[in-house]
Amino acid sequence: MTFPASLSLSRREGLLAGFVALLWVLALASPALPMPSLLAPDFADGRGWHGLPNALDVLSNLPFAGLGLAGLWRLHRLDHGIRVEPGMDERASDSLDCAWLFFAGLLLTAAGSAFFHLHPDVHRLAADRAGMAVAFAGLIGLAACERVSPRAGWAAAWCALAGGLLAAACASETGNVLPWALVQFGGMALVLVLAFTPRVSGALRMNLGAVIACYALAKLLELGDHAIYEATSHLVSGHTLKHLAAAFAALPVLAMVRGVGRKGVRHNPAPAAATA
């Protein structure tokens, strides 16, 4: 039995589908991983500022919002540009769809994380994770568009989005953090593998290595929350710096979108066609 070419999977697409399926099976079939007791909020810097509790951990989410807005603005300009490089728009479309999801996720991450850090508790943590899940889905989609295929990228983004939101809800309602761990660490393992995979034809050339470096630095700063707070004589905590490092992971995506604009590629050529 043969499948139409549009339904058949390339080797990379098949491997990606298998990896995603494995994560879903592990999330559904593995024993629950209880939420550790030390997840109870114990952040190093609890200082307030003008009535704002945990001020630096709250305000350090502003870079997520700023970069999210910058990315959405540039994508909006691509949708309403005039100059077009022939043949490029179709190849770029799925990647830019994922970029929209990523930058929108940064705004949600800023809101969710600020909401959580105002009065940290397990239920507010679900809002924090839900925002991250949207941004993470966009990043997974972008990586797959670059290194697997455009159609695989959009499909991977939707799978990551559904998995991330369900995992955040599961952790909040049942205390089982295994699905969230699989989304977070399994997803970054996938991005790491894709970073060493050759780009596909027409890729927009996002720097995945820089994204991974920012993520790794953010995790190290998170683990060193109290140690950094003491080492800096209570100037700044590791968790505050974690937010800044994680926000910097958006810079390679923003650079990719700027590069697309310089080439004259548009996400949606229809508005320009109407004004031509």
Q: Which residue has the higher pLDDT, 271 or 92?
A: 92
Question: Which residue has better confidence, 38 or 255?
Answer: 255
In a domain, 39, yes or no: no
What pLDDT score does 90 carry? 53
Q: Number of structural domains, the chain?
A: 1
Parent domain of 97? 54-275
Question: Is 43 inside any structural domain?
Answer: no
| Residue 90 falls inside a structural domain | yes
Nearest residue to 13 via CA among 191, 139, 149, 162: 149
SS3 234: coil
pTM (2 d.p.):
0.87
Flag whether 23 is in a domain. no
The enclosing domain of 125 has a CATH number of 1.20.1070
State percent of the chain over pLDDT 90. Answer: 74
Q: Of 263 and 172, which is predicted with more confidence?
A: 172
Per-residue pLDDT at 268 exceeds 70: no
Reported as a single tens digit per residue, the pLDDT across 61-112 is 999 999 999 999 999 988 755 344 444 555 577 889 999 999 999 999 999 9
Tell me the one-letter amino acid at 267.
H
The total number of residues written for the chain in this structure: 276
Give domain status of residue 3, yes or no.
no
Residue 179 CA to residue 168 CA, distance in Å, equals 8
Quote the pLDDT of residue 84.
43
Q: Specify if 38 maps to a domain.
A: no
